[in-house]
Structure formats: structure tokens, C-alpha cells
């Protein structure tokens, strides 16, 4: 009986480790996108066209996929989709019909980050 319990516990630890290894880099990519574009990107406004909930974290944030119409200051508006980790209290600000501030990657304009801190 103790051997079965030890085997099950070992299996749970291994599965947990695999999940952390798979999911942690994806979360880090969403977290690190905004600071990088703050330094190198161009500010713009965008209309929220649609929002899709992806996941929730225990720290009070949610990961959403946002379809945006971006209005660059020196170019024609265009549509793109991005993932954003936002605080639960900011969910009302990221809804269809709302305008949000974004940062645009000058090397790849499809790469944008929503910045609710300057909203």
C-alpha cells in the first residue's frame, strides 16, 4: 500500500514539473512583452473589437486574447490580435467598443502590447 502511494505521489510530482516547464515560458512571454515595447515601441491607441478569455492566475490577473484595430500616429489603421495579462479589475476597460493604449513593435507592427497603466 505504501509503495502504491509513493508511486502515485512521484507521478504527481513529475506531472506537476512537466506542466510548470510547459506553461511557465508562455506566461513569461506575456509578462515580458510590455516592458520591451515600452522601451523600443511606438505608442498608439486601439479599439477593442473582441476579447476571449484564455486563463486565470491566482495573483488576480487573467490572460485574454484581444482583437484590436490599431491607430498608429503615422500610418493607416489595421487589425491585429494579441494576448494580454490584465488585472481582474481592468476587465471592464478591455471590452468591445472601448479604446485602449497600446505599444507597437516598429519592426513588426502586428506585435502590439496593451498598456492599461497609462489609460
**Residues 64, 52: contact at Cβ < 8 Å?**
yes
The reported pLDDT for the residue numbered 30 is 47
Residue 23 has pLDDT above 60, yes or no: no
The reported pLDDT for the residue numbered 103 is 93
Residue 18 has pLDDT above 60, yes or no: no
pLDDT digits (tens, 9 = 90+) for 24-78: 444 444 444 777 887 888 999 999 999 999 888 778 889 899 999 999 988 899 9
The reported pLDDT for the residue numbered 78 is 96
Secondary structure (3-state) at 3:
helix
When the pLDDT of each residue in the chain is averaged and rounded to a whole number, the result is 81
7, containing H or E segment: helix 2-40
User: What is the total count of domains within the chain?
Assistant: 1
Domain interval for residue 63: 2-118
Domain holding 111: CATH number?
2.40.50
32-56 exposure pattern, b = at least 16 Cβ within 10 A, e = fewer: ebbeebeeebbebebbbeebeeeee
Amino acid at each position: 500500500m505504501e509503495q502504491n502511494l509513493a508511486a502515485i505521489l512521484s507521478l504527481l510530482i513529475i506531472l506537476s514539473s512537466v506542466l510548470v516547464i510547459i506553461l511557465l515560458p508562455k506566461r513569461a512571454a506575456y509578462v515580458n512583452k510590455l516592458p520591451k515595447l515600452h522601451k523600443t515601441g511606438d505608442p498608439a491607441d486601439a479599439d477593442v473589437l473582441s476579447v476571449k478569455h484564455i486563463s486565470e492566475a491566482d495573483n488576480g490577473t487573467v490572460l485574454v486574447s484581444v482583437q484590436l484595430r490599431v491607430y498608429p500616429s503615422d500610418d493607416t489603421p489595421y487589425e491585429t490580435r494579441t494576448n494580454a495579462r490584465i488585472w481582474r479589475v481592468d476587465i471592464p476597460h478591455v471590452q468591445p467598443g472601448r479604446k485602449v493604449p497600446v505599444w507597437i513593435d516598429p519592426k513588426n507592427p502586428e506585435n502590439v502590447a496593451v498598456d492599461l497603466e497609462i489609460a
